[in-house]
Copies of this chain bind each other. A is one copy, B any other.
Amino acid sequence: MGKKLDSVKINLNSEKIEAPARGNYHHGDLRGALINAAEDILAERGVEGFSLREAARRAGVSPAAPAHHFGDARGLLTAVATRGFERLETALTEAQQELRDPRARLRAQGHAYVRFATANPAHFNLMWRRALLDNDDAHLQEAGRAAFALLDEAAADLSAAPKNAPSPGALAAWSIVHGYARLILDGALGDAPPELLDQVLDRLTLLQPHSA
């Protein structure tokens, strides 16, 4: 006990000299640090290379620590996916916010959707790997709902379909941007030139028969 008290004193003294040495036992924001670590791992190795131990290692914490915040690996991945949906919603919102023409809004959202996927492949890939996530998680559900309400709305504005049900036009629009994004991420298109995306997006508004 005496020895331990001494070492505590030494820590307290050195704290005055070098500030970042403090707070080693309680991390402060371990939850956030683990999410960041998980994102890094996913970006580097893909979801195959992810493990809870590795995330703990990168956060500088013992392998048992993450359980306090996320329960298990699924819980951590669910938090990462939730953050992904939130960012997607932000991207979609920003893309359309100053546009009034419904056609222009749909096109801008389509572009933003594909851009989000290519800029955040780790998130985008994970968001659709539902077998790895806790699909009953309330935050995940809400984040997903919010993101797709935007796309749905944009397409509904263009068609005569009732607002409550997902219209075929909205679904077609979602399918085309999702399909394009997936093909890019899965490497099926090789080095597709940027104008190819523009040309595909030109066809987005063609999908809405009532607007022609």
Contacts and interface: CB of A to CB of B under 8 A. Distances in A.
Interface of A: 46, 48, 128-132, 135, 168-169, 171-172, 174-183, 186-189, 196, 199-200, 202-203, 206-207, 209
Q: Which of A48, A132, A169, A172 has the most CB of B within 10 A?
A: A172
Contacts of A129: 186
Contacts of A202: 168
Contact of A207 (B168, B169, B181, B203): B203
Nearest to A205: B206
Contacts of A181: 179
Contact of A203 (B131, B169, B177, B187): B169
Nearest to A202: B168
A130 B187 contact: yes
Contacts of A131: 46, 48
A114 to B, nearest CB: 10
24 contacts: A48-B132, A128-B188, A130-B186, A130-B187, A135-B187, A168-B199, A171-B189, A171-B196, A171-B199, A171-B200, A174-B179, A174-B183, A175-B175, A175-B183, A175-B200, A178-B179, A179-B179, A179-B180, A179-B182, A182-B182, A203-B207, A203-B209, A206-B207, A207-B207
A129 to B, nearest CB: 8
Given A172-B176, A203-B206, 12 more contacts: A128-B186, A130-B187, A168-B196, A171-B180, A171-B196, A171-B199, A172-B200, A175-B175, A175-B180, A178-B183, A203-B207, A203-B209
